[in-house]
Structure 1
Amino acid sequence: MSQPAQVVIPHLVVNDGNAAVDFYKKALGATEVLRMPAQDGKRLMHAEINAYGARIMLMDDFPEHRGTHVDAVFPPDQLKGTSVTMHLEVENCDAAVKRAADAGATVTMEPWDAFWGARYGRVIDPFGHSWSFAHALPAKG
């Protein structure tokens, strides 16, 4: 008996979660599902957005709760980069990259017709997270 496909939901750590939610609304056309402020009234303990049908969670960095745990998480600016790219399948890669760039993302790979049969491009958002966008190209022949 086969298992149903598992979905991985990214949980991003950022500096300025409120600004991140607002950015993702502009850059990805995301809809806000939930925003839970922290007790300090400035940071977000938890937020959830939906972009291109993908569920994405995020939170502000809370260094005071990080301690020395092996599983501590950091925002990309403290890591001097990120080891993960969030990939979104979209109707129009060029339009998605342009929308993200117009909202303040930095284009790191202009859209191109990739050898695997997709139009593909990448950006880095103002919070240091990497995003790629792609749509399938028509079959040749």
Structure 2
Amino acid sequence: MLKLTPYLFFSGRCEEALEYYRKCFNGVVLTKQYFRDAPQLIEGGNPDWIMHAELEAFGLKIMMSDGVNAKELQGNNIALSLVVEDSHTQNQLFEYFCDGGRVMMPLNDTFWGARFGKVEDKFGIRWMLHCEELS
């Protein structure tokens, strides 16, 4: 089973957008982490910007970030976050999206306890592949 979630980027306005959409949908903020919360400095990440936030309302989940200046904010402000159940499926999808595309972040185990990677496919769609099964 795959679960697809919109992931929106706001280039320094995520805090404002998160509150706007929370009110709009009468939702609940599930997660809000700043770049300063990461265990090490993330290149291109402003410490005062939101690294990751999640909003839930009416069964809908929206993920948001201010993004990393150097990588996320060139051209569009949306990515698709795909949660997969196993690393085998994650590897297959990542390799498929890489064909004619570009790797933004290789698949790796992360400090938040998941295996994660980002890739832009040949059509310019950014995919964020998330798997709880660590390698």
The verdict on a shared fold, with TM-score over 0.5 as the criterion, is: no
| TM-score normalised by L of structure 2 | 0.43
From the CA coordinates, give the structure whose radius of gyration is larger: 1
Task: Report which structure shows greater RCO (CA 8 Å, sep ≥6).
Answer: 2
| TM-score normalised by L of structure 1 | 0.42
